[in-house]
Structure 1
């Protein structure tokens, strides 16, 4: 809980820094606060916070997912100086809202109670409704904000209805007492209906098809750095909450919901990858790519074992690194060209080779090409699921094969154009090049030496 307090105080400080120099210092305050929080995340919790463990407990899994979320948020903040250059008048609000959303994610990592789960989801989501529409002069950004808000409210209704049914049958909000009830009453109809409604709500939050309809428009319409935040940090928090709720709270009625998840995985992988092939806009293609990864992540529910949480963390970290790698390239191209079509990237490798390499390597990692972190992430989850559901693993492998086509399309445009569309002397900043080199190194290092992940995060 100490990490949560530090992030919250950092958000408040970043917000009030906007009074001075139009938020010039907010980013630096955010980076400093995140570094302190990352250090504190390795320290044992104070005994004082144990009195709140019935609602929130900073255990081993909460610590691991908090650390990877802080690292990804730090990378996003380092990219913010250039990405938010046209938001000079309200930069402080943007950084503060991202930190507030991260607070919601940290609450989700440690929730022990359905009330805490609800609060975490709302704290995570409400700042995003504002962030999605922060580019006030862009109608697509306005549309993204209202669409995200409406669909988020709709999903919250399902969540609360499900919680009401769970409480009505189990007479408790406590996650572990719900677990005990599910084990001793596996045929309780009201309880099962509540579990399915909560599954639907959480599927909305992670954008699992067919509950994904908000994602492409919201991801495309939002400012690109905010899109990167939603595709990485928000995805980490929402999916872990999904995983924790289903595998602890509803473990006793797995048979009631596991087949539903299997069908959703098939729909997600087929729909997202086919739609990804049909896109002519790189940002929208990446939105469908993000949806497809929820399908791969869904395999974590099959063949559960003691390493499941670790496999999930590794995959989410590898995926988030790759997301930042390709999105930083998109941010620079979008600033330069005012668009994100495939043609806007034509010949990028000749103008900015480091940026093109990190984008290409990131997409290859997303596709699961060997010797990348993405390959090891998929291998861990697929190996876990193959004994209990070989058919779903086969579908996931086919989905990965399809995804290579739309990733390669963008890579070919960047590296093998008929003619380059970059005729400018503007160069990428030193910060972007440093982050690009770091991501290249991290993706390759984790692909070759996956044990580095456990060592670096104190496991």
Structure 2
């Protein structure tokens, strides 16, 4: 709760800082607030907040996911000075809205009640509806905002209807009381219908196919730094909330929803990877890549054990670091070339080798190549899922095939950057120092976590 309050107050301060110097100091104020929040997240929770534990509890898992979300947000804010350079008149609003969205994500890490879940989802989502359309002169950005809002509202309807049915059958909004009801009444039709409706709503939020239709257009149309935030922080927040609801509240009826989850994962892995192969635009390819990773993450529901939350956190952190690494490169190219097609990246390694290497290592990590963090993340989730007695082996086989397909479209962009037939990337403008610093950090982090995976636990105080 302390971290939530710090980030929320930082968002308010960043918003009002826009009154002075057109938001000149909002970014620095936001980074300072995030650093303070990161420090506080390592401290024991203040006992004063125990009175709210029936609604929100900052337990070990909440603390872990909060830490990785703050780290990723810090990296994105370091990129903001260059990325938001054409938004000088309202930069403060952009940083404030991102922090408000992060506040919603933190609620999703520690909610104890379905009402708190709903509040977290909406606080996370509403600022992003605005941010998706923040590039007012771009019709694609306007389209992204409208589409995200309409589809988000549609998913919210499913979520509320599901919560209503759950309350109507169990008589409670509390996760653990619902958990007890699910064990004692595993065949309650109203309860099962509510669980399925909530599954569908949360599948929308994490972009599981066929509820992913909004993702490619919204990700492509939104400003690239906002897209990076959606692909990382929103994915972390929404997936942990999804995991928490299904494995706690609906643990007693796992047999009723696990097969539905399996079907969604299979559709997601085949559809997203096939569509990723068909793209000629790097940003849209990364959008389908993000959808495919929702499929890999979905395997966490199979073969649940005491390390499941840790495995989920490791994968999400590795994926989010890689997302920042690729999107950072894309932001730079998009600013110079005014496009994000594969051809725009041709010969990037000759002009900016550090950026190109960071993007390449990030995509190799996304593909699950050994010695990268992505490989260890996939290995841990696949090793868990294969223990599931009924269809674990089959699900892992599908995921491995999906990973093999994904290598093709990641390598395509890497080849364009490093081995072009003719380099078209000639510019006198140099990458900002902050971008090179973030690039080096991401390269080291992805390789270090891939070679020494225990570093993740040590660095986050586990």
Instruction: Give TM-score scaled by structure 1 length.
Output: 1.00
SS at 1:305 equivalent: coil
CA drift at 1:364: 0.2
Aligned to 1:437: 440
SS at 1:370 equivalent: coil
For 1:409 and 1:184, how far apart are their aligned partners in 2? Answer: 53
Spell out the pairing of 1:62-141 with structure 2 (5 A cutoff): 62-141=62-141
Aligned to 1:272: 272
SS at 1:156 equivalent: helix
SS at 1:86 equivalent: helix
For 2:324 and 2:47, how far apart are their aligned partners in 1? Answer: 36
Spell out the pairing of 1:326-337 with structure 2 (5 A cutoff): 326-337=326-337
Say whether residues 1:216 and 2:213 are aligned partners.
no
Aligned to 2:429: 426
How many positions carry a matched residue from both structures?
459
Aligned to 2:410: 407
Aligned pair partner of 2:395 in 374, 392, 397: 392
Aligned to 2:259: 259
Say whether residues 1:305 and 2:305 are aligned partners.
yes
Say whether residues 1:339 and 2:339 are aligned partners.
yes
Instruction: Give TM-score scaled by structure 2 length.
Output: 0.99
For 2:229 and 2:114, how far apart are their aligned partners in 1? Answer: 25
> Mind listing any 5+ residue stretches in structure 1 that lack a counterpart?
none
The CA deviation string for residues 223-250 of structure 1, in whole angstroms up to 9 with x for no partner, is 0000000000010000000000000000
For 1:369 and 1:22, how far apart are their aligned partners in 2? Answer: 45
SS at 1:381 equivalent: helix
> Mind listing any 5+ residue stretches in structure 2 that lack a counterpart?
none
Aligned to 2:460: 457
SS at 2:79 equivalent: helix
Detail structure 1 runs of 4+ shifted over 4 Å in the superposition.
none
The CA deviation string for residues 9-28 of structure 1, in whole angstroms up to 9 with x for no partner, is 00000000001111111000
For 1:30 and 1:390, how far apart are their aligned partners in 2? Answer: 45
SS at 2:417 equivalent: helix
For 1:286 and 1:454, how far apart are their aligned partners in 2? Answer: 28
CA drift at 1:363: 0.2
SS at 2:361 equivalent: helix
CA RMSD of superposed structures (Å): 0.3
For 1:456 and 1:45, how far apart are their aligned partners in 2? Answer: 19
Deviates more, 1:423-432 or 1:184-193: 423-432
Say whether residues 1:11 and 2:11 are aligned partners.
yes
Say whether residues 1:293 and 2:296 are aligned partners.
no
For 2:22 and 2:369, how far apart are their aligned partners in 1? Answer: 44
CA drift at 1:328: 0.1
Say whether residues 1:417 and 2:420 are aligned partners.
yes
Spell out the pairing of 1:303-382 with structure 2 (5 A cutoff): 303-382=303-382
CA drift at 1:144: 0.1
For 1:362 and 1:45, how far apart are their aligned partners in 2? Answer: 34
